[in-house]
Structure 1
Amino acid sequence: MRAISGLWRWRRNPLRRGTDLAEAWLALTVLFLILVTAPLVGAVTGSVAQGSLQQAVREQQRSRHLVAATVVRKLGPAPIDADPESTASRDTHSRVLADWTAPDGTAQHGAVIADLKSPHRGDHFPLWTDGHGRITGRPLDRASATTHAVLAGIGAAAMTAGLIEGCRRLIVWRMVLRRYARWDQAWDRAGPDWGRTGTGS
């Protein structure tokens, strides 16, 4: 935004073109829009995301339950591991056949990932399920939801600033193209007589 620093210089300069002043004022306007609009968009987006995520936290904490599961036997690794994080956590997690009781009182049995390094029959481990005993993920906590909302707000503000700056660059590019076209027209008019004695007299 060097054009902003040149705004005062162009104020009374006899070499100033109309596009020079327009470019400087455009840069000043864009700076103002970025300083005002981007934080506003970021704050609104973060606030909306925070409300939505905190609602999801409440729903997940209400519908998901931590139950105690019992290892029946250890299983081998899954043939196709769809979770990319499981490879990194293979040393602390094991695939086991387990029994657990659902919050509604029904007995459940199935293959699960246990937070055990070397599971043995009868070992207990925590397991998140829904009200009917189906396995679910850990519910989102409030701190993580707030972090996601803040990141969403920052991302929205950055995208807004980038969009405004992109529009400025597009307008300046069009102005430069017009300036070059005018120069070409001026050279076309002056070209045939350039350097001749008495030209213009």
Structure 2
Amino acid sequence: MRTAMGVWRWRHNPLRRTTDLIEAWVALAALACFLLLVPAVGTLAGTRVDDVLQQAVRRQHAERTLINAVVTAGSSAAGAAASGRAADSADPGARRHAPADPHVVASWTGPDGSRHTGTVATGTNVPGPGQAVPVWTDDRGRLVSRPLDTTTAATHSALAGLAAAATAAALVATVRRLIVRRLTHRRYARLDRAWAAAGPDWGRTDAGG
């Protein structure tokens, strides 16, 4: 509102310079961009990213299956984790030596009926032989990562929209600042020319004679 009033006041001000009017209109245009363009860019970017991620969510959930693998033996990593937990009781400082992601050897049957055996991650708990471990596989029974969920996709989309809006706002502010700097340089140039024309007579004792 102050910017709009500034433009209105400059319209018929006798002290108004062309650069003053241009600067006021630039400020008004920047304000309009902040209120209209920046939110639109953020919304558009967030929507586009959300569309892509939600398609990925649906595709991954259609292509990946959660099944239970049966533990056949603990791997060396799992044994090291158990040793690390045993050492914690005697030496709390030994906790840092235990692996953060234990693994075990397990077997499972893929969605296509194929049999598989391999090393799978168990998280913080290390199950014993014969216990079940949930794993994600593709349609051929090969291990894959957990599919993206809708909540995570929505969070990434919101962050992308905010990043796009912030980038647009920074671009608008930068363009406005560059234009104002250019106008300021023009004012100084005009002032220098005016000073060069009138300045040599200032300060002379006989200038009024």
What TM-score does the superposition give when structure 1 sets the normalisation length?
0.81
Aligned pair partner of 2:188 in 171, 180, 192: 180
Residue 67 to residue 91, structure 1, CA distance change in 2 (3 Å): same
Gaps of 5+ in 1: 78-87
Q: Is the 8 A contact 2:64 2:147 kept in 1?
A: yes
Residue 199 to residue 14, structure 1, CA distance change in 2 (3 Å): farther
Residue 144 to residue 99, structure 1, CA distance change in 2 (3 Å): same
What TM-score does the superposition give when structure 2 sets the normalisation length?
0.78
Question: How large is the RMSD of aligned CA atoms in angstroms?
Answer: 2.7
Partner residue in 2 for 1:70: 70
Q: Distance in 2 between matches of 1:155 and 1:103?
A: 40
Structure 1 position 9, deviation (Å): 4.7
Gaps of 5+ in 2: 79-95
* Runs of 4+ with >6 A deviation: none
Residue 17 to residue 69, structure 1, CA distance change in 2 (3 Å): same
Structure 1 position 3, deviation (Å): 5.7
**After superposition, where does 1:23-42 map in structure 2 within 5 Å?**
23-42=23-42
Q: Distance in 1 between matches of 2:206 and 2:2?
A: 41
Residue 200 to residue 63, structure 1, CA distance change in 2 (3 Å): farther
Structure 1 position 2, deviation (Å): 7.4
Structure 1 position 63, deviation (Å): 0.3
Q: Deviations over 1:117-145 (max 9, x none)?
A: 23322221101111112221111112222
**After superposition, where does 1:1-201 map in structure 2 within 5 Å?**
6-71=6-71, 72-76=73-77, 93-197=101-205, 199=207
| More helix by percentage | 2
The aligned length equals: 190
Q: Distance in 1 between matches of 2:10 and 2:47?
A: 42
Fraction of identical pairs, as percent:
48
Q: Distance in 2 between matches of 1:7 and 1:22?
A: 9
